[in-house]
Amino acid sequence: IKSNIDVSMDDQRAVVKQLQLSALGTTTLADITVSQFLQTPVIQGSIEVQPFNAREVAKRVAVELPVMAKADALHNVAIKTKIEMQGEKLQANDFVLTLDNSTLSGWLHVVNLSKQQLRYDLAFDQLNIDDYLPPVVEKAEKPEAATAKEAKGAAGEVGVATTGDEKIELPVEMMRQLDIEGDFRIASLTAMQYQIRQFLMTTKAQGGDININPLSMQVLQGQVNSAINMNVQKEKPAYAIDLKVNQVQAGPVADPFLEGVMGDKPLKLEGAVNLTMDVKTTGETVNQLKQASKGQIILDMKETAVHGFDPEYYMRSSIANYVDSKGFGMSKTIMGNYRPREVTVFDLISSTINLADGKARTDDFLMSAERVKVTAKGHVDIMQDSLDVTSSVA
């Protein structure tokens, strides 16, 4: 520790100049002034923690950090800020955190330390979350029998499966004491290999009513805006989400869920989705949340190419198979020389889904192309994980 200290009792003033503190492989520089120290002290100054390797520091204090995707993650960390503290108030202005190749800047104010009232405005210039997640391990392909056996064994090791009636444990008392308000921005974000721009999360939490509005971003060539509310003021927590998706490319999100739908043939989407969602629910368990869900989801897609799906061929082959099963032997006449198209372009894919009583119901599902039209109506029972839908192809 190195420093020059000047103290004046008459002026109630102490000045700590050029403070240098070295510990655990880090170096902290500071200039601090304390005034009115015989009354209500006012502490002002600047603090700078010079760049250090967080992994090396962790080793020195016997803390083992998890393995991360980027081998040298956390190798360059630094902090710089100006502080002012008086009584219950603490301000950190001109705050700058360096995290490897990213910089977080802005300010944090604790309005009242005892009441934990926090206000902030913070922004990253760029951030790659993937660097700090566990490394992705590529799994080698295995025979189906071996895979199934391993899966069964793994399931046995996990224990008893959940029923959905288990209570969701929330730190309710802590959440009711929160008093937070602030903006958090990221100009350029990489998460789960998605490139996200202009990420903004505005949070306001007070007395058990927690609001994130807006939570917005530019992703997959489109815009996502949402508002999320969680209220724990009453005995049962209440949740609400208002989501608007505008011209977001659907393929990267939907394609993984379409694997195996058409057998070994890959099924892929190419087009932009517009979606609105306004859903509210309440409950202490997953099943209560499902049962109490109420709201509406509206889907609208135009000029959407579906690779690996030809509904006209599917309709013809279904009729041909049915006719053959009755012994008429007309399948060749029905099928002719028709071969399935690799791509079907739909002018419109749309649906309105209403949530109520544990069911998601639609009466107007439509996939409309030049040569074919697919309609459907019915419901999904989200309590029983069952489907009751009537569809037609024309």
Q: In 3D, which of 98, 97, 99 has the Cα closest to residue 70?
A: 99
Q: In 3D, which of 269, 280, 278, 281 has the Cα closest to residue 298?
A: 278
List residues bridging with 105 in a β-sheet.
Answer: 96, 123
Nearest 5°: phi and psi at 69?
-60, -40
Q: How far apart are CA 340 and CA 320, in angstroms?
A: 14
- Type of residue found at 205: A
Neighbours of 33 (CB within 10 A): 15
Residue 334: per-residue pLDDT: 62
CB 283 within 8 A of CB 291: yes
Q: How far apart are CA 349 and CA 347, in angstroms?
A: 7
Angle (nearest 5°) at CA 92 between 228 and 76: 85
Nearest 5°: phi and psi at 113?
-65, -45
Q: In 3D, which of 47, 113, 109 has the Cα closest to residue 82?
A: 47
Global pTM value: 0.85
Nearest 5°: phi and psi at 65?
-75, 150
- Type of residue found at 68: M
* DSSP conformational letter for 48: E
List residues bridging with 119 in a β-sheet.
Answer: 109, 181
Q: Which residues of the chain have pLDDT under 50?
A: 142-158
Residue 10: per-residue pLDDT: 87
* DSSP conformational letter for 130: G
Residue 324 has, within 13 A of its CA and on its CB side, a CA count of 11
